[in-house]
A and B are shown apart, each in its own frame.
Chain A
Amino acid sequence: MNNTSIKDWVANIVKPEQIKKYMENGRDFINEDRINDLLQSKKQPDKNEVREVIAKSLELNRLELEETAVLLNCTDEEIWQEMYEVGLKIKQKVYGRRIVIFAPLYISNHCVNSCVYCGYRKENKDSVRYQLNMNELQKEIEALVSKGHKRLILVYGEHPSSDVHYIADTLKVAYETKLDNGEIRRCNINAAPMSIEDLEILKEVGIGTFQVFQETYHHQTYRRLHPRGIKADYHWRLYALHRSMEAGVDDVGIGALFGLYDWKFEVMGLLSHAIDLEKHFGGVGPHTISFPRLEPAVNTPFIEKTSYKVNDDIFKKLVTVIRLAVPYTGMILTARENAAVRREVIQVGCTQIDAGSNIAIGGYSKGDPVHNRQQFILGDNRSLDETIRDLADIGYITSFCTAGYRCGRTGNYFMDIAKQGKVHNLCMPNAILTFKEYLKDYASAETREIGERLIAKEISALPNEPVKAKVEKFLQQIDAGDRDLYL
């Protein structure tokens, strides 16, 4: 594709009318003055004030910005310990003792943007560009399925060669590829913001969650770090998930890249985003929230210059506050973080992690992390089996459940039952069933042994006798060779 046709493509992406319709009096929902005022006025809150907010959260109520500012400004380590414990309690109350596992699959790294912190920025000559064709994609999917994966997040750079039609084709290949007992049952997408019309195309081919991360909610920082390309348009990105909801793709994932600007501001930005989605779409907020930290990338010195780097302690705190602020939303902790950090931070209320990840394009089938085809460097390189065993060791069932979006449990329905704290009644049984499948088909002997013990424990903990009986019957069917059984 020549430069002129790329320029033409870029010039026609943004649809201003699909931004303005969600704005109020020409203003977006990130009210920086208000966020800064709240963060200032709630400095050094007393213990009682913080505990009142924690109590509200424990009742599974979404917090307001004022209340979240109170938590963010807490300086008392004893209260932080309470918050960590409550974060875990909330997560167990809503979702049970299960962690959903997925794998990221990077498909194309051609990009028209110039994000100064990103290894894929178009000016980075040290980044080797590659885009999978459908045969190569099939090999990647087979490699993932052969390890036991059922859920993927497909990742694409923003470029005409990976436009919505290419993405739709890759989704079809991902769903159609089968290997022995295995298949991919849910494909989420992390791609550039799209128009409502393009999102409708992805909806028709069965997209799972649509993720677009704002990176930073701070307007001026955003402008500075995204100087050119489509991504320079803050509002096109900010309302990407409003358009997704409008197009009927009603599971959406928001996120911020921590390390670009002040972490407290970004948490308030994420919450503002969740609140605005709820406001426009009948109480339905984001399905998931992601909170990646900036990581080193090939020929990308930005990370050495930023003064907003988030250390491990602050990272745990910010994840905890997000958990408390939006108690019923899924939270994704990725393998950017090393294994030790993940073990620690899972315990404050995360619901999903990736495992056995290889973010080099074509890396799964080659079994080799090709660093100059990666967007950044991974921190946790444990295999899927090791990760699952480690989770089982600390009492977590791995879930590959994909029942929700195949059973009409999306959007409003999911939010309603999540807000009532009822999702775990489905999550735990379905986690047990998909875990059993994994243990039968893919696990090492060591993981199988630990996993079977955990399944026995979790079955006995199921509170509802008819559900328990049904799960036991399904487990027998899985032993006999049936697959993809769910409630």
Chain B
Amino acid sequence: MSYKVRNITNSCHCSSGEELAKICNREILNSYPWLRLRWVRIHGHRWSYLFGNSNEICMNAKKIRLNEDYGIYIDNHESLDEQELGALIAALKRCFQ
């Protein structure tokens, strides 16, 4: 696990829900400031926007369900190599479990 991903995992203790999403968002952007993230709350079919990138439209975003209630879109996921992206997603899922 890279030190960047470890930072994210270490920061998410004792939080949940939207607060956790905000902490993760801050930590991810500390490590990868160029990433464009959109956080969503999942309600059945509905993925409701919470916060994050709302300036640009992305045609190829990576859609990730983190748990039953929360998800994230990484609009420019191609900017991370596959291994780093995989590690980031795994870390986020751990945080939200």
Contact = CB atoms under 8 A, between A and B. Distances in A.
A466 B59 contact: yes
Interface stretch (B3-11, B27-35, B43-51, B87-95): B43-51
Interface in A405-458: 405-414, 416-417, 420, 422, 425-426, 429
Contacts of B57: 417, 422, 425-426
A207 B46 CA distance: 7
Contacts of A317: none
Contact of B59 (A206, A248, A250, A487): A487
Contact of B45 (A175, A470, A487): A175
Given A250-B49, A487-B59, A413 B38 contact: yes
A248 B45 contact: no
Interface residues of A, number: 32
A204 B44 CA distance: 6
Given A408-B73, A467-B59, A413 B54 contact: yes
A141 to B, nearest CB: 15
B83 interface: no
Given A205-B44, A206-B43, A417-B54, A470 B49 contact: no
Contact of A414 (B39, B44, B49, B51): B49
A323 interface: no
Given A422-B57, A426-B57, A466-B59, A408 B45 contact: no
Nearest to A429: B59
Q: Is the interface of B mostly helix, strand, loop or mixed?
A: strand
A417 B73 CA distance: 16
A185 interface: yes
A208 interface: yes
Indicate the size class of the contact surface on chain B: 20 to 34
Nearest to B71: A408
Interface string A264-275: 000000000000
A416 B45 contact: no
A145 to B, nearest CB: 16
Contacts of B73: 407-408
Interface in B28-86: 38-41, 43-49, 51, 54-57, 59-61, 63, 71, 73
A284 B59 CA distance: 23
Nearest to B38: A408
A155 B82 CA distance: 47
A250 B54 CA distance: 15
Contacts of B55: 416-417, 420
B45 A405 contact: yes
A284 B56 CA distance: 17
A287 interface: no
Interface string A163-188: 00000000000010000000001100
B47 A406 contact: yes
A208 B46 contact: yes
A405 B43 CA distance: 10
A203 interface: yes
A411 B48 contact: yes
A408 B62 CA distance: 12
A205 B55 CA distance: 29
A185 B45 contact: yes
Contacts of A470: 59-60
Most chain B CB within 10 A, of A175, A410, A414, is at A410
B47 A407 contact: yes
Contacts of A203: 43, 46, 48
Contacts of B43: 203-207, 248
Contact of B48 (A250, A420, A426): A250
A200 to B, nearest CB: 9
A405 B59 contact: no
Interface of A: 175, 185-186, 203-208, 248, 250, 405-414, 416-417, 420, 422, 425-426, 429, 466-467, 470, 487
5 contacts: A205-B44, A206-B43, A250-B48, A406-B47, A416-B55
- Which 10 residue pairs are nearest across A and B when measured between Cβ atoms? A206-B44, A408-B40, A206-B45, A413-B49, A416-B54, A408-B47, A413-B54, A408-B49, A203-B43, A206-B46
Given A405-B46, A412-B51, 5 more contacts: A408-B73, A410-B47, A411-B49, A413-B38, A417-B54
